């Protein structure tokens, strides 16, 4: 029997349901370029995420690249961001020919430390790109105040935050734009996919144009765009998965609570505290292995692996320490981010995880 446990497992609708749903494509032969299902999913997700405007994209990374491009920042401008994230966040900034300025994060939830942002602002700063890491919401209110004061744009990387609400409002309502990822490894997936939520219709139109090569008409191209359109097979997967999203979230919540209950009394094992103002999507199960634990983070990672359990060090190393970025940008004290990154481990966590699988993992951590 294959008893391998991976860090996550894609949620999928019943096979027959998807097969039935894709049948019309064999009549229409319309497979991509903002087809019927693309438009339908865009509208359904806009409603579900409770945002004014939503542009569906081929993946979360292109959503972020194009969201940044849409604001037309001058080349070489500075963007304040977090290094405690997936590499995509920093890549999207640099591929837009902007300079990342890395800001430290908070130990309490891994999000950008809003109290450190102001010190990093210079006359070249144009934007703040924070990350709602693991679905933990940033301090959106303070960040907005700073942005207003210094006339900066705020673009949230909400790749992990599908369905998260802050004070009862969809998380994509905050800032000038928020991007979501619908990758196969996410809470909600369209196989590959993503979206940008914006407050103003003019940005929706801009993004529509940018995701389709900047084409305005058959003989007119107005922007240096990309190809970032979601195809119809992915959109249909999204429509099917959306029917089950509330059940998926409930299954994740049950498993989350089980882990929390089982791990709470182990010395040196810490989990992030969930704020009462946030309704969570239980996207990941990150655990911090502190100095007084019987095992180090790396030893635990190896021990789990020996037992066919594949946890992941999301996010180690910091993106600022990756070979392609190391020593290239401003040197800033990232003490807390570095510490978190050395302690973090994401345990396997998904909606169909069995109690026996969770117990196997817990027993290893408990050394029993
Ligand atoms: N911003 C942030 C903060 C992000 O975390 C991400 C993506 C992005 C932006 C960009 O969004 P996308 O362009 O990806 O939409 C994974 C994902 O590929 C990536 O989407 C995600 N963040 C990142 C945190 O994790 P890997 O390299 O760790 O994936 P991989 O292939 O090792 O898969 C991990 C596990 O997931 C596997 O062990 C099993 C499971 N899995 C994987 C695949 C591919 C499935 O169950 N089904 C699958 O189809 O990056």
Q: Say whether pLDDT at 116 is over 60.
A: yes
Ligand 1 atom at minimum distance from 181 CA: 15
Query: Within 10 Å of residue 82's Cβ, how many Cβ atoms?
Result: 29
Chain-centroid distance of CA 16 in Å reads: 29
pTM score > 0.95 for this model?
Answer: yes
Ligand 1 atom at minimum distance from 133 CA: 3
Across 116-136, average pLDDT: 98
340 phi and psi angles, rounded to 5 deg = -60, -45
Percent of the chain topping pLDDT 90: 97
CB of 99 closer than 8 Å to CB of 76: yes
Q: Say whether pLDDT at 100 is over 60.
A: yes
Which residues are paired to 290 by β-bridges? none
Q: Which pLDDT band holds residue 1 (cuts at 50, 70, 90)? A: very low
pLDDT digits (tens, 9 = 90+) for 176-192: 999 999 999 999 999 99
Which residues line the pocket of ligand 1, CB cutoff 6 A? 6-10, 59-61, 85-86, 88-89, 131, 157, 159-160, 181, 183-185, 194, 310, 314
Q: Which pLDDT band holds residue 367 (cuts at 50, 70, 90)? A: confident
Probe target for ligand 1 pocket from 185, 241, 345, with the most ligand atoms within 8 Å of CB = 185
234 phi and psi angles, rounded to 5 deg = -70, -40
Cα 302 from Cα 234, distance rounded (Å): 35
Collapse the DSSP code of 349 into the 3-class scheme (helix H, G, I; strand E, B; otherwise coil) and give the result: coil
Q: Say whether pLDDT at 95 is over 60.
A: yes
Which residue lies with its CA nearest to atom 23 of ligand 1? 86
pLDDT digits (tens, 9 = 90+) for 252-287: 999 999 999 999 989 999 999 888 999 999 999 999
Residue 80 CA to ligand 1 centre (angstroms): 24
CB of 141 closer than 8 Å to CB of 277: no
Which residues are paired to 180 by β-bridges? 195
CB of 128 closer than 8 Å to CB of 80: yes
Average pLDDT, the chain: 97
Torsion of CA 180, 112, 90, 283, to 10 degrees: -40
CB of 50 closer than 8 Å to CB of 73: no
Q: Say whether pLDDT at 49 is over 80.
A: yes
How far apart, in Å, are the Cα atoms of 282 and each of 12, 104, 324? 17, 24, 31
- pLDDT at position 274 is 86
Ramachandran quadrant class, 284 (left: phi over 0; alpha: psi -120 to 50; beta: rest): beta
Which residue lies with its CA nearest to atom 49 of ligand 1? 184
Q: Which pLDDT band holds residue 368 (cuts at 50, 70, 90)? A: low
- pLDDT at position 2 is 67
Across 49-68, average pLDDT: 98
- pLDDT at position 79 is 98
CB of 40 closer than 8 Å to CB of 345: no
Residue 284 CA to ligand 1 centre (angstroms): 12
Cα 272 from Cα 264, distance rounded (Å): 11
Q: Which pLDDT band holds residue 30 (cuts at 50, 70, 90)? A: very high
Across 125-132, average pLDDT: 98
Which residues are paired to 100 by β-bridges? 79
Cα 112 from Cα 55, distance rounded (Å): 26
């Amino acid at each position: 029997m294959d008893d391998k446990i991976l860090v996550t497992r894609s949620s999928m609708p019943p096979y027959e349901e998807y097969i039935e749903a894709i049948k019309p494509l064999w009549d229409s032969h319309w497979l991509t370029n903002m087809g019927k299902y693309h438009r339908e999913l865009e509208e359904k997700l806009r409603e579900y995420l409770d945002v004014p405007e939503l542009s569906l994209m081929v993946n979360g990374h292109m959503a972020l690249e194009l969201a940044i491009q849409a604001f037309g920042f001058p080349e070489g401008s500075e963007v304040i961001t977090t290094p405690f994230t997936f590499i995509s966040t920093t890549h999207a900034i640099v591929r837009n020919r902007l300079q990342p300025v890395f800001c430290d994060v908070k130990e309490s939830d891994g999000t950008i430390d809003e109290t450190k942002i102001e010190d990093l602002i210079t006359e070249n700063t144009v934007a703040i790109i924070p990350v709602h890491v693991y679905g933990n919401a940033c301090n959106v209110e303070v960040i907005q105040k700073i942005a207003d004061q210094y006339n900066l744009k705020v673009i949230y990387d909400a790749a992990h935050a599908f369905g998260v609400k802050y004070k009862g409002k969809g998380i994509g309502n905050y800032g000038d734009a928020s991007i979501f990822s619908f990758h196969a490894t996410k809470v909600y997936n369209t196989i590959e996919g993503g979206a940008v939520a914006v407050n103003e219709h003019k940005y929706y139109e801009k993004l529509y144009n940018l995701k389709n090569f900047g084409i305005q008409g058959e003989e007119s191209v107005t922007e240096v765009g990309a190809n970032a359109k979601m195809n119809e097979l992915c959109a249909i997967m999204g429509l099917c998965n959306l029917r089950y999203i509330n059940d998926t979230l409930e299954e994740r919540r049950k498993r989350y609570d089980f882990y929390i209950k089982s791990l709470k009394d182990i010395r040196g094992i810490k989990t992030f505290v969930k704020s009462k103002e946030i309704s969570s999507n239980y996207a990941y199960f990150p655990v911090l292995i502190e100095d007084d634990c019987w095992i180090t983070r790396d030893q635990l990672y190896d021990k789990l692996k020996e037992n066919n359990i594949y946890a992941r060090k999301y996010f180690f190393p910091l993106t600022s320490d990756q070979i392609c970025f190391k020593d290239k940008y401003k040197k800033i004290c990232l003490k807390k981010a570095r510490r978190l990154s050395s302690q973090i481990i994401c345990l396997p966590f998904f909606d169909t995880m069995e109690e026996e699988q969770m117990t196997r993992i817990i027993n290893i951590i408990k050394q029993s």
